[in-house]
Amino acid sequence: MPKADRGTALAHQAEPGTPAERAEASWQYAPAPESRDVVSIKPEYGLFIAGEFRPAANGRTFGTINPATEEPLAQVAEAGQQDVDAAVAAAREAYEQVWRPMPGSERAKYLYRIARQLQERAREFAVLESLDNGKPIRETRDVDIPLTAAHFFYYAGWADKLEYAGFGPDPRPLGVAGQVIPWNFPLLMAAWKLAPALAAGNTCVLKPAETTPLTALLLAEVCQQAGLPPGVVNIITGAGDTGAALVSHPGVNKIAFTGSTEVGKEIARAVAGTGKKLTLELGGKAANIVFDDAPIEQAVEGIVNGIFFNQGHVCCAGSRLLVQESVADTVIERLHRRLTTLRLGDPLDKNTDIGAINSSQQLAKIGELARAGEAEGAHRWSPPCQLPDKGFWFPPTVFTGVSQSHRIAREEIFGPVLSVLTFRTPDEAVTKANNTPYGLSAGIWTDKGSRILWLTRQLRAGVVWANTYNRFDPASPFGGYQESGYGREGGRHGLAAYLDA
Ligand code: NAI
Ligand code: MG
């Protein structure tokens, strides 16, 4: 990698050198690290079952690390079959005895309390999420944590209005929900799962991802603090085996999963014929489509946000840029220029734009696909940027000269890698955008309202953003077509997944 230049990568510190070098350095950002004193990480965490923390029955634990430094953060209990049984039993009892009989207006009070606690402890949650996941504090502080609280507030509002939600006069909860979530938005995904389930009167057993369990366990503390009746929310940590045990548990009425398409298919097979309700939110390979009449500077910001937000660890990431041929050179040139100003490095630094890759496995996967891109003949470009010595890092990367058959145009990379394709006509844009086994999201950049309306009807994607990208709101449903899964989360639609309606 070439030496970091002005404005990029970890080059914040003014170092001694020639006057020219010092002048250069004076234009760099000074470090602005968020203090990690606001969180106290315990050496060990138990499973949260029936309102209390306890070790796994077999005493097993696993470690979670900070992917930016590879520093071990904590040991976490690994739930086995006995623990899954105990969590499901606790959820069942709480469902029968407390939560189902409770009036919706009372359930709402707990959800509001959780939401307010999340706001009060927002800084603590933001720092902990950055540490355990590797994402920049700017994102956890401004996106993950506020949206998490907003989700609880939003569904608290539904808890006493279920009969007006459009699912008949007396919609019933399903029972015990088993929920398995990924590592890319650890706390936010917990909220997407828990808030609608609880509002609808279900109780939950949630399994966070093995690389990012800590904020879910802090949320368990918030549940205690909010006085949530024991067993209404249970949080069990572990890896795929724990998830599989939860999914196949006969005491569970509903499974909600967010993660890879591969595991999603496995879960669909495990659940088939059991009568359990299932929602799957899986991968994506979204097209972000830029027309020649688009406001180019705005579109460039949208492209950057679309693929480099959260290091590209986003199921709805705009990972395929489709740009109209007549403006392709301009767009690419401006994109390169913009990427040269992104700062990669310490996730706790408030100036950081690009944080760490979540795990060495994910880094290996991104590297493998990027190499495949080169081998298949696409042109690879990254801004000059120095990667830290420790931890898992991948520079923002743009591939041009990509064709539809390339692996980097078809497979979910789940990293900071953009594949650029071009098109000439709107019809060609639609054909290329829809040429994917996925169908989660898409973006459109154009000045023409009529074109936006026409395109949204042509694109087979659950969410279509126009002249913006990666915007989330708890009131707005989110979900996919085809291999991106089925069912919707968020909004009134999100309630349907947890009601017998
Ligand atoms: P994954 O799908 O294996 O993990 C997601 C969650 O499922 C984790 O909590 C995991 O412990 C659990 N799990 C794993 N195997 C399971 C099983 N057999 N039964 C029940 N639960 C199980 O995803 P992974 O391995 O972390 O990432 C691999 C790829 O998946 C990524 O490179 C990315 O392409 C994609 N992915 C997509 C996500 C999305 O939001 N669409 C999120 C995470 C990963
Ligand atoms: Mg971790």
* Domain boundaries, given as residue ranges, for the chain: 37-282+481-498, 287-466
Q: From atom 8 of ligand 1, which residue's Cα is the shortest distance away?
A: 209
Q: CA-CA distances (angstroms) from residue 246 to 56, 77, 115, 182, 235?
A: 15, 15, 26, 15, 11
Tokens of 458: 């042509």
Q: What is the whole-number distance in angstroms between the Cα of residue 73 and the centre of ligand 2?
A: 7
> What confidence tier does 23 reach under pLDDT thresholds 50, 70, 90?
low
Protein residue closest via CA to atom 16 of ligand 1: 240
What is the Å distance from ligand 2's center to 175 Cα? 31
| Statement: residue 11 has pLDDT above 60 | no
Q: How many whole angstroms separate alpha carbon 146 and alpha carbon 91?
A: 27
- Report which protein residue has its CA nearest ligand 1's atom 42: 259
Q: How confident is the model at residue 5 (pLDDT cuts 50, 70, 90)?
A: very low
Catalytic site residue from 34, 281, 412, 483? 281
Question: Which one-letter amino acid corresponds to residue 341?
Answer: T
Token pair in block for residue 352: 């950081």
Q: Looking at ligand 1, which residue's alpha carbon is closest to its atom 36?
A: 260
Query: Which entry of 204, 315, 316, 385 is annotated as an active-site residue?
Result: 315
Mapping DSSP to helix (H, G, I), strand (E, B) and coil, where does residue 478 land?
strand
Write out the H or E segment, with its range, that includes residue 150: helix 145-158
| CA dist., res. 467 & res. 456, Å (int) | 12
Give the ligand at the shortest distance from the Cα of 133: 2
Residues 169-190 pLDDT 10s: 999 999 999 999 999 999 999 9
Q: Which residues contact 288 (CB under 8 A, 6 or more apart)?
A: 302, 303, 306, 307, 318, 320, 321, 322, 442, 443, 445, 469
How many A from CA of 181 to the centre of ligand 1?
Answer: 8
Question: Is the pLDDT reported for residue 438 higher than 60?
Answer: yes
pLDDT (tens digit, 9 = 90+) per residue, 39-95?
999 999 999 999 999 999 999 999 999 999 999 999 999 999 999 999 999 999 999
Helix (H) or strand (E) holding 152, with range, is helix 145-158
**Which ligand number lies closest to the CA of residue 128?**
2
Q: Alpha-carbon distance 225 to 21, whole Å?
A: 53
pLDDT mean over 150-164 = 97
* Tokens found for residue 455: 């395109």
Residue nearest to atom 14 of ligand 1 (CA): 240
Residue-wise pLDDT tens digits, 374-416: 999 999 999 999 999 999 999 999 999 999 999 999 999 999 9
Q: What per-residue confidence (pLDDT) applies to 159?
A: 98
Q: Which two tokens stand for residue 183?
A: 């590592």
Distances (CA, A) of 362 to 231, 356, 369, 415, 416: 34, 11, 11, 8, 11
d(CA 285, CA 320): 7
**Is residue 384 helix, strand or coil?**
coil
Residue with CA nearest ligand 1 atom 21: 243
What pLDDT, on a 0 to 100 scale, did the predictor assign at position 294? 98
Q: Which two tokens stand for residue 97?
A: 């005895």
Class of domain 37-282+481-498 as given by CATH: alpha beta
Per CATH, domain 287-466 is 3.60.20.10: no
Tell me what the mean pLDDT of segment 296-314 comes to: 98
Integer CA distances (angstroms), 182 to 3, 107, 284, 355, in order: 35, 27, 14, 18
Task: Note the pTM of the prediction, 2 decimals.
Answer: 0.94
CA 130 to ligand 1 centroid distance, Å: 19
Mutate to test the pocket of ligand 1, among 260, 267, 281 (most ligand atoms within 8 A of CB): 260
Contact 231, 224 (CB under 8 A): no
Collapsing DSSP to helix, strand or coil, 460 comes out as coil
> Phi-psi region for residue 447, left (φ > 0), alpha (ψ -120 to 50) or beta?
alpha
- Does pLDDT of 24 surpass 90? no
Residue count (the chain): 501
Q: What are phi and psi of 202, to 5 degrees?
A: -90, 160
Closest C-alpha to ligand 1, atom 15: 240
Contact 160, 153 (CB under 8 A): no
Bridge partners, residue 258, by sequence: 281
| Nearest Cα residue to 455 out of 428, 486, 495 | 428
CA angle 237, 241, 247 (to 5 degrees): 85
Q: C-alpha angle with apex 287: 284 to 289, nearest 5 degrees?
A: 160
Picking from 16, 155, 227, 210, the residue whose alpha carbon sits closest to that of residue 474 is 155
pLDDT band at 15 (very low <50, low <70, confident <90, very high): low
Write down the residue that tokens 């009568």 correspond to.
275
**Residues 288, 469: contact at Cβ < 8 Å?**
yes
Output Rg (C-alpha) for the chain, integer angstroms: 23
pLDDT for residue 1: 38
| pLDDT of res. 221 | 98
Give the 3-state secondary structure of 277-330: EEEEECCCCCEEEECCCCCHHHHHHHHHHHHHHHHHCCCCCCCEEEEEHHHHHH
Residue 376: active-site member = no
Contact yes or no for 102/327 (Cβ under 8 A): no
* Burial (0-12, 13-18, 19+ Cβ within 10 Å), 59: exposed
C-beta separation of 104 from 160 below 8 A: yes
Q: Residue 79 and residue 241: Cα distance in Å, rounded?
A: 9
Ligand 1 pocket list (CB less than 6 A): 180-184, 207, 209-210, 239-240, 243-244, 247, 258-260, 263, 266-267, 282-283, 315, 362, 365, 412, 414
Q: Ligand 2 centre from 47 Cα, in Å? A: 17
CB atoms within 10 A of CB 467: 15
> What spacing in Å lies between the alpha carbon of 242 and ligand 2's midpoint?
17
Residue 149 reports pLDDT greater than 70 = yes
Residue in 139, 123, 180 with CA at minimum distance from that of residue 470: 139
Average pLDDT along the chain: 95
204 is known as an active-site residue? no
CA-CA-CA-CA torsion sign (330, 334, 335, 340): positive
Ligand that lies nearest to the alpha carbon of residue 135, given by its number in the listed order: 2
Q: How far apart are CA 375 and CA 273, in angstroms?
A: 44
Q: How far is the CA of 408 from the centre of ligand 2 (A)?
A: 27
Q: Which ligand is nearest to the CA of 347?
A: 2
pLDDT of residue 449: 97
Q: Which atom of ligand 1 is nearest to the CA of 281?
A: 41
